[in-house]
A = this chain, B = another copy of it.
Amino acid sequence: MLRTRLTSAFHLRHPIVSAPMIQASDARLAAAVTAAGGLGLIGAAYGDRRWLARELKRAANTRVGCGFITWSLARDPGLLEMVLQHQPAAIFLSFGDPVRFADHVRACGIPLMCQISTLAQAHQAIDAGADVLVAQGNEAGGHSTGARSTFTLVPDVVDLATTRAPQTLVLAAGGVVDGRTLAAALALGADGALVGTRLWASTEAAVAPAAHARALAATGDDTLRTSVYDIVRDYPWPAPYTARVLRNDFLDQWQDHEYELRANITQARHTYQRATAHDDFDGAPIIAGEAVGQVNEVLPVATILERMASDAHTVLNGDRIRRG
């Protein structure tokens, strides 16, 4: 057992929270992570109200949290009410100033987790009263500013929290995929880790088999940061946000040719939509982090969590990181 402030605060067996990944992080995956001793989060992503209502219903008797894209939630704040009525284990806010929602979440007695990718954003999250800072490195799959890496951001955020808000926990996000990387995250001072890509490649994740097959075959050199899919979907991600995804034919065509993409947007959008409808990942995106090269097998969530924690325990020669 790895005991940390996170496992104590949330009564977990393992210091692992699942990332609220779009589509993949439905009620089934979130519940499986909690059942395996971590904390599962449903990914509300861009705020599909019907999808979210269904997943909350499916998760009714499980202890899971819910993650939002903050700028997307601002367009339909009622979604937060909907989730709060289900007494979630945590509310997780990414990508935008959390202050607008923070007081309400905390007034309901729900722990607030804020994902940040710079020290400046960490200050903002502390100002908002976050209970958990999720320090997201450029390694992570999906959107991020890409400004900082897990390896340097985590110690910086740990030191900031120690100074400004010592009760605030810190999770490492981006690159944590096995026992070595979980041990490294704890060595850097984190109280636990947010795990995305490794749990995306689990039996319980809502992922197309063809997407899993591509990710298992990929190496760590096969991801890149891009705006191409945000342009083609007309998603208003503000600069400097980009998303880390697996390389494919569509990106080979349009990456670094965004001007031409905009000039040919109707045709490109048609290609994208057709590919997405047919699980054709030459055209449809696969969101994956830089640690995808370490993901070589689709496994049950319980196996993933047990192995990560057990291997990290071995690397660290014990159950606790000692702080000098």
Contacts and interface: CB of A to CB of B under 8 A. Distances in A.
Interface of A: 118-120, 137-139, 147-153, 155-156, 159, 174-175, 177-181, 183-185, 187-189, 219-221, 289-291, 293-294, 310-311, 314-318, 321-324
Nearest to A120: B221
A188 B184 contact: yes
A139 to B, nearest CB: 5
30 contacts: A118-B221, A119-B219, A119-B221, A120-B221, A139-B152, A148-B221, A148-B290, A149-B149, A149-B151, A149-B174, A149-B290, A151-B151, A151-B174, A151-B181, A151-B184, A152-B290, A155-B178, A156-B219, A180-B187, A180-B189, A184-B187, A187-B316, A311-B324, A314-B322, A314-B324, A315-B323, A316-B316, A317-B317, A317-B321, A317-B322
A286 B152 CA distance: 18
A188 B175 CA distance: 11
B187 A175 contact: no
Contacts of A120: 221
B178 A149 contact: no
A102 to B, nearest CB: 22
